[in-house]
Structure 1
Amino acid sequence: MTPWVHSTSIDRGLFKAMLTERGILAMIIASQAVAFIYTLASGKDFWLSLGLVSLFTHANAFITLGLIALVLRYSKSLSFKSELGLVLIFFQSVCIVTSLVVQYSPFTPVEPIDWPFIINNNAICGFVVILLLHFMAIYIDNLNTIARVANAELDALQARIRPHFLHNALNTLAELCHENPDDAEDAALTMAKLMQIAFARNKTHSLGQELSLTKGYLTIERYRFEHRLRVVWSINNVDLGANVPALILQPLVENAVVHGIEPAREGGVINIDISTVNTMLVINVDNPLNADSKSRSGQGIALENICRRLLIYYGEKASLKTSQKSGRFLLTVMLPLGALNEISGSRR
């Protein structure tokens, strides 16, 4: 794909890309390079001229970035072509204004206005901006490629964990059909509701939806384990509307049921603690430790799956840790609130 090919991702990407660390750095480098080349070509006092020209070029760059930030804040639906046009207009307009201001400064007063000077500045500005936008388009295209790869991997990970969830739920339903047909019917209705959430196309949803999915799963498992399965919830100071990866809590709880409750003849207690610490959402799930458990496989797969998805969504900011203490197995997930990676978003 060439840098200028129209795509949905690029449509929303130019302004944001220019305001990233890499975009601002590219702007600074381009501005300083122009100042350096212009000073060398002028043949005047090098250091004084370099300082003044650098001030001029950087002022142009940062004023333009400020205008871009304002537009981005108040307008969220501009196309790539619109953003491209606005960038060119902003740069050229700011260059004209600053060129006029410079002519009235105490350092280089000019009277009357030196229009060739202004035209020359705008020609240089336009040439540099076109080169800058070309390389920014290449950068955005690379981001889009990364996004497509990340989304493809997320699709594969979701496709891998969802059948695992369905398999275990169907096993529970099959056992209930023999033991308690009435409960099997209720469990089947509950499962139907869960399937709408678990198999939704979105890769992310609200924390409230994830809690609803997990509680529904536990409802099904209670039909099978009855008094053997006891769950203690502790949810403190959390925003249920916070956006989290889909199937991030339910597999942890399923892991606790399969490897902590199922092998134990007397069952046990699963503790689920969810809280907000500073800007982190902290999820703790602990269950009885059964080191010699021969229950259904999938613990390593599920945890590896979650770790990989967390890495795609949050980079190194999120974590999943396991520990053992006093006969309990503890899983701790820490998610930075509001930091879901946009390139791995849920748009399909």
Structure 2
Amino acid sequence: MTQATTAKQDSLPNLCTGPALLRLVMIAELLALVLVLNNGGLDGFNWVDLALTSLMVQWITLASAACICRLRPLLARWPLWAAVLLSYVLILTLTFLFTLLGQWFFLGYWWSPQPLDWSALGADLIVAAIFAGIGLQYFYLQQQLQRGERAQLEARIQALQSRIRPHFLFNAMNSIASLIAIDAERAERMVEDLSALFRASLSEATLVPVEQEVALARRYLAMEAARLGDRLQVDWRIEPLPGQPLMPSLLLQPLLENALYHGIGARREGGLLEIALAAENNHLHLLVRNPLGQSTPTPGNGIALANIRDRLAAHFGHAARCEVGVQDKHFCVRISYPITEQ
């Protein structure tokens, strides 16, 4: 499927998801209730009539949703007006067929032949035409709203991912300049590490293998080690992970940058940076722990963590967790989210 076809398909109302089907069922049930109340009023309300009307309306609704869902890849190749028109005609056709079936089965036409109730059939088609137009318009506008929100969120994620503190760039360049004369080979490695970090920050905001994210974090810490020296101690605890789990790109590096900038880098004696990664209950668990800095915390730490929460929510919704806290004079960040594999 081409990118243009995918974009068109994304602009069509999506009736293939669970929430969309639930809304359809609820709207159909409300329509059935309105029809029954319109026919008999409150005094003549009959639960049997409501059950039969609900069955008929739900048949038409779910059958229409199933057909439109299956035809969605085909409709994506057509102009939007043609796709909507075909969906509209399909709903009316199914309404006509199910209404004929309803008269044949529920009204006893199958055992006592009699003329069709064309007046009732016409009324059903008019009601279907009105509500189909309203429903398609509603789901189209909802789809466009979700598409716009998703585009804004992806743009924000991309902007957050590409954000690297200027002080880190300046420190890295100064370290490289100081190493050129005394250790050219190490300076060259730092240039390569810095290039890899910027390449990741400018890449598409997506999920990448955990091994790739860990390798990038190690390169970042190697650059910071050139500046901090023995003040920086790192303890990696990575347990065996099932399959090939994924992680949001450039998720780990900002956590490590915060730990160094607000914690270890702010201490004369430095400290130990602990990084633990494990899998449990089909969730990936990440822990970053560092000693508290000796200076007053700056607001930047909270902003970075809020950005990470936004990215996790964009990828995993409410299933992701990002908890922060202070324990034994150490700042801890705990992240967990459902394991997603390639």
Q: Secondary structure at the match of 1:236?
A: coil
How far apart in 1 are the matches of 2:135 and 2:16?
10
How far is 1:132 from its partner? 0.9
Alpha carbons of structure 1 residues 135 and 302: separation in structure 2 relative to 1, 3 Å = closer
Taking structure 2 as the reference length, the TM-score comes to: 0.77
Alignment partner of 1:136 is 2:139: yes
Q: Of 317, 320, 325, which residue of structure 2 is paired with 1:318?
A: 320
Give the number of aligned pairs. Answer: 329
Q: Which runs of 5+ in 2 are unaligned?
A: none
Alpha carbons of structure 1 residues 239 and 327: separation in structure 2 relative to 1, 3 Å = farther
Q: Of 180, 197, 204, which residue of structure 1 is paired with 2:183?
A: 180
How far is 1:260 from its partner? 4.2
Alignment partner of 1:280 is 2:283: yes
Instruction: Indicate the larger mover: 163-172 or 321-330.
Output: 163-172
Q: Which runs of 5+ in 1 are unaligned?
A: 1-5, 339-348
Instruction: Indicate the larger mover: 36-45 or 99-108.
Output: 36-45
- Give the alignment of 1:231-242 within 5 angstroms: 231-242=235-246
Letter in 2 for 1:147: R
Instruction: Indicate the larger mover: 145-154 or 133-142.
Output: 145-154
Alpha carbons of structure 1 residues 205 and 162: separation in structure 2 relative to 1, 3 Å = farther
Per-residue displacement from partner, 1:10-61 (whole Å, max 9, x unpaired)? 6414342564525632553245325533663489964143332222111211
How far apart in 1 are the matches of 2:25 and 2:8?
19
Alignment partner of 1:255 is 2:258: yes
How far apart in 2 are the matches of 1:285 and 1:64?
50
Alpha carbons of structure 1 residues 168 and 254: separation in structure 2 relative to 1, 3 Å = farther
Alpha carbons of structure 1 residues 295 and 22: separation in structure 2 relative to 1, 3 Å = closer
Per-residue displacement from partner, 1:189-248 (whole Å, max 9, x unpaired)? 222233222222x12231333223212212323344455433323143255452x43321
Letter in 1 for 2:98: T
CA contact (8 A) 1:190 1:216 kept: yes
Instruction: Indicate the larger mover: 35-44 or 304-313.
Output: 35-44
Q: State the Cα RMSD in Å.
A: 3.9
Alpha carbons of structure 1 residues 130 and 40: separation in structure 2 relative to 1, 3 Å = same
Alpha carbons of structure 1 residues 189 and 275: separation in structure 2 relative to 1, 3 Å = same
Alpha carbons of structure 1 residues 232 and 51: separation in structure 2 relative to 1, 3 Å = closer
Q: Which residue of 1 aligns with 2:125?
A: 122
Q: Which residue of 1 aligns with 2:34?
A: 36
Alpha carbons of structure 1 residues 86 and 329: separation in structure 2 relative to 1, 3 Å = same
Alpha carbons of structure 1 residues 106 and 153: separation in structure 2 relative to 1, 3 Å = closer
Alpha carbons of structure 1 residues 42 and 51: separation in structure 2 relative to 1, 3 Å = same
Q: Of 305, 312, 320, which residue of structure 2 is paired with 1:303?
A: 305
Q: Which residue of 2 aligns with 1:329?
A: 331
CA contact (8 A) 1:183 1:223 kept: no
Alignment partner of 1:212 is 2:215: yes
How far apart in 2 are the matches of 1:40 and 1:68?
29
Q: Which residue of 2 aligns with 1:58?
A: 58
- Give the alignment of 1:92-171 within 5 angstroms: 92-105=92-105, 107-109=107-109, 111=113, 114=116, 116=118, 117-161=120-164, 163=166, 166-171=169-174
How far apart in 2 are the matches of 1:170 and 1:297?
25
Alpha carbons of structure 1 residues 129 and 279: separation in structure 2 relative to 1, 3 Å = farther
Alpha carbons of structure 1 residues 135 and 301: separation in structure 2 relative to 1, 3 Å = closer
Q: Secondary structure at the match of 2:284?
A: strand
How far is 1:297 from its partner? 8.9
Letter in 2 for 1:36: V
Alignment partner of 1:221 is 2:219: no
Q: Secondary structure at the match of 1:51?
A: helix
Letter in 2 for 1:269: L
Per-residue displacement from partner, 1:64-91 (whole Å, max 9, x unpaired)? 333445556xx49835736535533542
CA contact (8 A) 1:251 1:302 kept: yes
Instruction: Indicate the larger mover: 52-61 or 143-152.
Output: 143-152
Alpha carbons of structure 1 residues 136 and 286: separation in structure 2 relative to 1, 3 Å = same
Q: Of 272, 291, 294, which residue of structure 1 is paired with 2:293?
A: 291
How far is 1:251 from its partner? 1.0
Letter in 1 for 2:249: A
How far apart in 1 are the matches of 2:9 and 2:268?
58
CA contact (8 A) 1:258 1:295 kept: no
